[in-house]
Amino acid sequence: MIRKCMLTLVLLMTVLVAGAQEKKKFSPEKFNEAMEEFIQKKAELTQQEADKVFPILREMHKKQRAIYKRVHEMAKNKPADEAGCVAVIEEYDKVNIELKQIEKCYHKKMMQEVPASKVYEILKAEYRFHRGWMKGAQKPMDKRR
């Protein structure tokens, strides 16, 4: 009888603890914090360099996110006819050019604050961070299969 009660109590506690755990939600603040920490470490930025470059990088990402939202809207619905598809493709091409122009502009701004070799390392580190994050984000999807 006591063993049954203990087993029931242990099972109940296990269920309560498992139910109390929240699913991990994406936090843009934590993502950006982790990215900046990674970039600062990999690009070997001093705190002064980081203080100069990260506001520029944040501003660039803010402008890029607005454009990515447009791309997301374009991808939501397939146009009904060929002419509509042509229009969406042309708009998509314009958006990609706009993204590259933004990057070029902000890369120049960063090079005014730190040497080009540091900007190069920042770009490389940012790429590595995003690749690593995407690989990590895909793991749960792979386990479902």
Residue with more model confidence, 69 or 143 = 69
Average pLDDT over residues 28-42: 91
Instruction: Answer with the residue of higher pLDDT: 23 or 27.
Output: 27
Asked whether the predicted pLDDT for residue 121 surpasses 60, the reply is yes
CA torsion angle 54 56 58 59 (round to 10):
170
Residue 119: predicted pLDDT: 96
Confidence bin at 61 (pLDDT 50/70/90): very high
Concatenate the DSSP letters of all residues of 17-81 into one string. HHHHSPPP---HHHHHHHHHHHHHHHTT--HHHHHHHHHHHHHHHHHHHHHHHHHHHHHHS--SS
Q: With 0.75 as the threshold, say if the pTM is over it.
A: no
> What integer pLDDT is reported at residue 144 of this predicted model?
40
